[in-house]
Amino acid sequence: MKKHSWIQFASIGFCLSIALALGCAPSASAQQDSDQPPSDNPQCTDENLQGRYGYTMSGWLVGLVPVVGLVPAAAVGVLTFDGEGILNAQDTSNNNGALSSRAGAGIYGVNANCTGSATVAGGFAGLTFDFMIIPGTHGSEFSLIVTNSGTVETGVGQRIPDEQCTAATVQGTYRLAANGYLLGTGSGPTASVGIRIVDGAGNLSGDDTVSTNGMIQPRVVTATYAVNLDCTGTQTWTDGQTFNWVIVAGGTQVFFIRTDHAAIKVASGTYKKQSGSDVEDSSHTTPDTDVSADDDSDQEHVMKAKVYSGRALFRSDAG
């Protein structure tokens, strides 16, 4: 009986020796590493913001002299970061009906937790803002809040790719979300949501629903647009309304600000492309395409317009 027990013990010891020799047992260092929780803290530096970014921001100026109370403000432009703490900026802004083109240079700093701050001089007259790089975007997007006293204004920025832009960069079906404020007689807020169908060749159309001081009205829009190589652009409606553009993310989004009748309306917003919505190039269509298919396509766009105009989207305007 004792001999049998000794043989079992020896067998177990032999098996353990083989396991250790083959490296099956975890090492002390591996066990120690497994006890350490994975780090959730990103480590950012100034290099995370590098290149050109389009941005849009809007909000309110508080107690602006000689006006007492809240007055609307909006801006759309381009920030260029050098990756080492220096930036340049240019935009189109509308502060309470005063439309202007601003340009300036400044400094920025990024903290290890991917937050940061910036100051812009020149035409921006010491504009300051805090920002946060959006997690998971590898520095391609950030949100911002203006920190100058008497200002309640927020916005977003998104990288502009290095490739030059053309009219074809903006093509497909985009959802519209925009807001603004009417000044003077009948002053009050205005907003719109809907769709824009862009053909990639300088033409744009769409449908939306507009709310002006709570009065709801459907609208059909036709317009032309032009795109510069630096991914800025302009849009002109058939009724005379004009807008400045900044195209970001390879044409999947457009930030815009209205530039006509600035003294009576402050308005800005965003176009965001819908997945898989590229407009088909007419050169790829077959000669015997059924006309009824085109009619069906038009009806489908109208149905999309009705659907999108009924949704509450991210931003809004009379765009």
Q: Which of 107, 135, 159 is the last residue of a domain?
A: 159
User: Is the CB of residue 73 less than 8 Å from the CB of residue 94?
Assistant: yes
User: Is the CB of residue 221 less than 8 Å from the CB of residue 208?
Assistant: yes
In a domain, 235, yes or no: yes
Distance from C-alpha of 54 to C-alpha of 83, rounded to nearest angstrom: 16
Q: Count how many domains the chain has.
A: 2
pLDDT value of residue 319: 59
Print the domain residue range for 50.
Answer: 46-159
Distance from C-alpha of 311 to C-alpha of 257, rounded to nearest angstrom: 22
In a domain, 17, yes or no: no
Find tokens 């979300």 and name the residue.
Answer: 177
Q: Are residues 84 and 200 in the same domain?
A: no
pLDDT tens track for 5-32: 444 544 545 444 544 444 444 444 434 4
In a domain, 207, yes or no: yes
Q: Are residues 51 and 135 in the same domain?
A: yes
Q: Are residues 118 and 221 in the same domain?
A: no
pLDDT value of residue 187: 87
Low-confidence ranges of the chain (pLDDT < 70): 1-42, 64-68, 277, 279-319
pLDDT value of residue 301: 44
Q: Are residues 132 and 178 in the same domain?
A: no
Residue 205: alpha-carbon gap to chain centroid? 22
pLDDT value of residue 279: 56
pLDDT tens track for 69-96: 789 999 999 999 999 999 999 999 999 9
Q: Which residues contact 112 (CB under 8 A, 6 or more apart)?
A: 41, 42, 43, 44, 45
Q: Are residues 119 and 59 in the same domain?
A: yes
- With b meaning 16 or more CB within 10 Å and e meaning fewer, what string describes 193-221? bbbbbbbbeeebbbbbbbbbeeeeeeeeb
Q: Which of 96, 126, 159 is the last residue of a domain?
A: 159
User: Is the CB of residue 177 less than 8 Å from the CB of residue 316?
Assistant: yes
pLDDT value of residue 276: 73
In a domain, 34, yes or no: no
pLDDT value of residue 305: 41
Distance from C-alpha of 180 to C-alpha of 257, rounded to nearest angstrom: 10
pLDDT value of residue 93: 98
